[in-house]
Amino acid sequence: MAARTSPTERQKRLGAELRRMRTSADVPAELAAELLGVDRGKISNIEAGSRPISPDRLRTLADNCGCSDGRYIDALVEMAQPRSRGWWEKYRGTLPQGLFDIAELEAHALSMRAAYAMHMPGLLQTTDHALALFRVVIPKLPEREIALRLAHRMERQAVLDGDVAPPYTAIVHEAALRMQFGGRSVARAQLLNLIEKSEQPSVRLLVIPFVAGAFPGAGQTVLYADGPAPQLDTVQIDNSHGPVFVHTEPQLAKYQAHLDWMERIALSPRDSRDFIHAIAQQL
């Protein structure tokens, strides 16, 4: 199988998990190469996500590393299957790689929980609100890229539609609700859209009011995506230079605790809708 020149975050994650499995079992790369019938260099490439691994070889590696977690191994095998072409692939070559990685993460998540201090959830934005955000990017984006980013963002939202939509909890701070991106009318329409979207079966919207006080990670936008096995959970953090993906056990535990804390101090879903409606009426 040919090497990849630009592996996706999902492919890199698979490689990282295989490396973690091998090193945890103290299996040298040379021995792994011998077990799989490949040269030493291909092991490095597999673990970097730049070369695929067949399901049979993956199971051979897991067996020789003493990994007996069937759920975890099956999930890795699923990740190793040849990729079906996701809807986001049509934007490849025209938009940053990180946007595809976010869409792919959302598409494969069993459930999601996210927190927003200054921004609206991307999966719950109106087109006008998203357009206002894209128009203040530095350096300024060309009109064609703005249009492509807008189309990509709107297509991402389909993940919450239908009977098989993953459960999605969005925790939004009052500060984000009061930001008037695009002006008063755009902001009001965005708030009403939040209320409407929160009534979807898959969506749970929670608001943290100013009076709730301090909480950890207050300045971050965080998405916690549950994988098919607990070891495959992923946290995606927004950054000015693009998305950051983390998945070590301490990092996962840290962001789980952050989100748990935020849920404890947030209003209930019903009170959150009432709170948003009251702000919308002021605009």
Given a cut of 90, whether residue 229 has pLDDT beyond it is yes
> Mind listing the pLDDT tens digit for each residue in 41-50?
999 999 999 9
Given a cut of 90, whether residue 163 has pLDDT beyond it is no
pLDDT range class, residue 1, cuts 50, 70, 90: low
- Residue 44: burial class (beta carbons within 10 Å; 0-12, 13-18, 19+): middle
Last residue of a domain, one of 21, 54, 80: 80
Report the pLDDT value the prediction gives residue 3, as an integer from 0 to 100. 60
168 and 225 share one domain: yes
131 and 262 share one domain: yes
2 occurs within a structural domain: no
168 and 276 share one domain: yes
Report the pLDDT value the prediction gives residue 282, as an integer from 0 to 100. 96
- Distances in Å between the Cα of 46 and the Cα atoms of 43, 55, 77, 220, 230 are 5, 13, 14, 32, 22
266 occurs within a structural domain: yes
127 occurs within a structural domain: yes
113 and 195 share one domain: yes
With a CB cutoff of 8 Å and minimum separation 6, the contacts of 118 are: 173, 175, 176, 179, 219, 221
74 and 163 share one domain: no
- pTM metric for this prediction: 0.94
- Tokens for 10? 């999902």
Is residue 159 within 8 A of residue 121, CB to CB? The reply is: no
Last residue of a domain, one of 33, 49, 80: 80
43 and 151 share one domain: no
125 occurs within a structural domain: yes
Count of domains forming the chain: 2
Cα 174 to the center of its chain, rounded Å: 23
224 occurs within a structural domain: yes
At 27, which CATH number? Answer: 1.10.260.40
With a CB cutoff of 8 Å and minimum separation 6, the contacts of 156 are: 102, 103, 106, 122, 123
Last residue of a domain, one of 80, 103, 138: 80
Closest by Cα among 275, 99, 79, 109 to 202: 109
Handedness of CA 56, 57, 63, 67 (dihedral sign): negative
Report the pLDDT value the prediction gives residue 270, as an integer from 0 to 100. 97
With a CB cutoff of 8 Å and minimum separation 6, the contacts of 230 are: none
147 and 207 share one domain: yes
Helix (H, G, I), strand (E, B), or coil: what is residue 282? coil
57 and 153 share one domain: no
Report the pLDDT value the prediction gives residue 157, as an integer from 0 to 100. 97
> Mind listing the pLDDT tens digit for each residue in 255-278?
999 999 999 999 999 999 999 999
3 occurs within a structural domain: no
Q: Calculate the average pLDDT of the chain.
A: 95
Mean pLDDT of 167-182: 97
75 and 168 share one domain: no
- Tokens for 40? 């030493």
65 and 165 share one domain: no
Between these two residues, 110 and 162, which has the higher pLDDT value? Answer: 110
At 135, which CATH number? Answer: 3.30.870
237 and 129 share one domain: yes
Mean pLDDT of 193-213: 97
Report the pLDDT value the prediction gives residue 2, as an integer from 0 to 100. 54
4 occurs within a structural domain: no
55 and 119 share one domain: no
Report the pLDDT value the prediction gives residue 14, as an integer from 0 to 100. 97
pLDDT range class, residue 84, cuts 50, 70, 90: confident
Report the pLDDT value the prediction gives residue 239, as an integer from 0 to 100. 85
Rounded to whole angstroms, the Cα distance separating 248 from 239 reads: 19
254 occurs within a structural domain: yes
Q: Which domain holds residue 13?
A: 9-80
Percent residues over pLDDT 70 in the chain: 99
